[in-house]
Chain A
Amino acid sequence: MLEPSATPKLELRNITKWYGPEGTGVLAVDDCSVSVQKGEFVCVVGPSGCGKSTLMTVGAGLEEATHGEILIDGKPAGKPGPRRSVVFQKFALFPSETVAQNIKFGLQMTNVPRDEQERRVQQQLEIMGLTQFRDSYPSQLSGGMQQRVAIARALAMQPEILLMDEPFGALDAQTRTILQEEVQRLSHQMHYTVLFITHSVEEAVYLSDRVIVMSRRPGRIKKEIQLPRDVAWKRGDIEQAAEHPEFIEARREIWALVREEIMAA
């Protein structure tokens, strides 16, 4: 079990983000603190436009916070890099590279030895069910397949932290369900440390150990809800999980919080 006192794997400490000049620009995130312990799956939910993506972009190091710090193991995280892998809502695959080349890209950039590169690419192709698409280009794949490639590309880096920004937001309902279940299974097996952004309350309850609810813009932390960890009902498929009383109760509580924010807008 987690010790609450342990240094978080990832900590976003008092993050404030202004787009444009402070005071006159857009205040997207206002003094938000989020920490993720090693092996923990944390979801951030909130109404659309509340600053979730901003929080993640800052957390990944892709944007500078106006105020606040990003820490990994208690030390400043610095530039974006392979310690934090990111999965974007719009896949962000390299169109000129095949599936295998996309997965291999980060390994080449970080000078992973060649045979190790091959091994990891092969492994990810198998895990994500992409072996037959190895030499396809992203434009030849459906959205669901493309997002599998993006996840494979992120996981191949063996990152300490996985950041996912509404990764299933652009997918159709069936594909989304299947990928939710696969991510659930993977994170359970591999104990990834994940910060996962979503606007779906169900997805958050199903996947995470802890849910952070954000207020409408400017995004603030409204409430954190601890969910039961390592319980059997989470390991099955999402439909079964959704029938469990604990799931229903958590969903009701979180949805009420999110609804408040949407209605107040």
Chain B
Amino acid sequence: MRRIANGNLVLVSAAACVVWIAVWAWITRSGGPVSSLFLPSPGDVVERFGRMWVKPYIGSTLLGHVFSSLSIVLAGWALGGIVGVPLGVAMAWWPRVKWLVFPIFQLIRPVPPLAWIPLTLVWMGIGEPARIFVVFIAALVPWLMNSMQAVGSVDPLLIDAGRTLGASDGKILTRIVCRTALPTLIAGARIALGNAWTTLVAAELLAATAGLGYVALNASRMLDTDVLVVAMLLIGLLGVLLSLLMKLATHVLAPWSLSQQKG
């Protein structure tokens, strides 16, 4: 039953996409109600996409801009994980670490990552390191919060079981706690990546020399709405793609968390 229902949903979604694009095409047709200056037609966008794919636009091809954005996102996201996961695990495992770090962390948390940009500009200028840093800040919070929560919510009974089976404290942490916490950790990684992506694009709107946000900003200044729409569509699609990749990671790294009772 469920399978069929899910299959139907996919069909409905696909049909809805076609309808939305059709509506878009209809309102932007030549002589239609919406001028191409406000919103280009789907055809214009596709054509523009093709041209930008081969010909550089403000310094590099579309692929170059995509690559620039992605590499900064991945760098900042990975750095966030490298710092956030061990810190989050340590905070959950040793109360002292939590007391030490948590106050600062609570203070930083409500500051939107973009609010770091002015300070970052002073520290590092508008180069890549500055953007990586802002992305890092955006990714750090979910990385850290989720790993802390993941470890904190491991059933203490499992730790007791481990102790009676002769596991040392170190083995309990690595073999039981961290492994059990993995699905929540991956969920944190996924949120972190989403945050990283939206923050980067916003950062590129403010201070950048390449990337999809930078393309969008330039296009807006030039009233090149078709370029703007290309950039926005790509930003959306890449965001979806990153999210799907992280879902896949759960299947690969923690298949047990998805399994259902069978006997």
Contact = CB atoms under 8 A, between A and B. Distances in A.
A139 B171 CA distance: 23
Interface in B148-184: 155, 157-158, 160-168, 171, 175-176, 179-180, 182
A133 interface: yes
A109 interface: yes
B166 A139 contact: no
B67 interface: no
B182 A84 contact: no
B165 A109 contact: yes
A105 B164 CA distance: 11
A80 interface: yes
Main secondary structure of the interface of B (DSSP, over half): helix
Interface in A53-80: 57, 60-62, 79-80
Contacts of B160: 57, 60, 62, 80, 86, 88, 92
A86 B263 contact: no
A96 B255 CA distance: 8
Nearest to B181: A96
Interface residues of B, number: 27
- Of the listed residues A57, A88, A98, A133, the one surrounded by the most CB atoms of chain B closer than 10 A to its CB is A88
Interface in B205-263: 254-257, 259-263
A154 to B, nearest CB: 8
A29 interface: no
A135 to B, nearest CB: 11
Contact of A139 (B161, B164, B168, B259): B259
Contacts of B176: 94
A145 interface: yes
A95 B257 contact: yes
A98 B160 CA distance: 19
A140 B165 contact: no
B164 A140 contact: no
A109 B261 contact: no
B166 A96 contact: no
A97 B263 CA distance: 17
Given A136-B262, A139-B260, A96 B180 contact: yes
A80 B163 contact: yes
Given A94-B176, A109-B171, A141 B166 contact: no
Contact of B164 (A86, A95, A142): A86
A106 interface: yes
Nearest to A57: B160
A41 to B, nearest CB: 19
B29 to A, nearest CB: 54
A106 B162 CA distance: 8
B121 to A, nearest CB: 44
A233 interface: no
B180 A140 contact: no
Given A90-B157, A140-B263, A142-B263, A96 B164 contact: no
Contacts of B167: 105-106, 109
Contacts of B257: 95-96, 139
A106 B166 contact: yes
A140 B171 contact: no
Contacts of B168: 109
A79 B167 CA distance: 11
A142 B261 contact: yes
Given A81-B164, A90-B157, A95 B256 contact: yes
A82 interface: yes
A105 B165 contact: yes
A67 B158 CA distance: 26
Interface string A197-217: 000000000000000000000
A86 B259 contact: no
A96 B184 CA distance: 13
Interface in B107-162: 155, 157-158, 160-162
9 contacts: A61-B164, A92-B160, A94-B158, A94-B176, A94-B179, A106-B164, A106-B165, A139-B256, A140-B262
Cβ-closest 3 pairs across A and B: A106-B165, A92-B161, A137-B256
Given A61-B164, A94-B179, A96-B180, 10 more contacts: A81-B164, A86-B161, A94-B180, A95-B256, A105-B175, A109-B166, A109-B167, A133-B263, A140-B259, A142-B261
Interface of A: 57, 60-62, 79-82, 84-86, 88, 90, 92-98, 105-106, 109-110, 133, 136-137, 139-142, 145, 153, 157
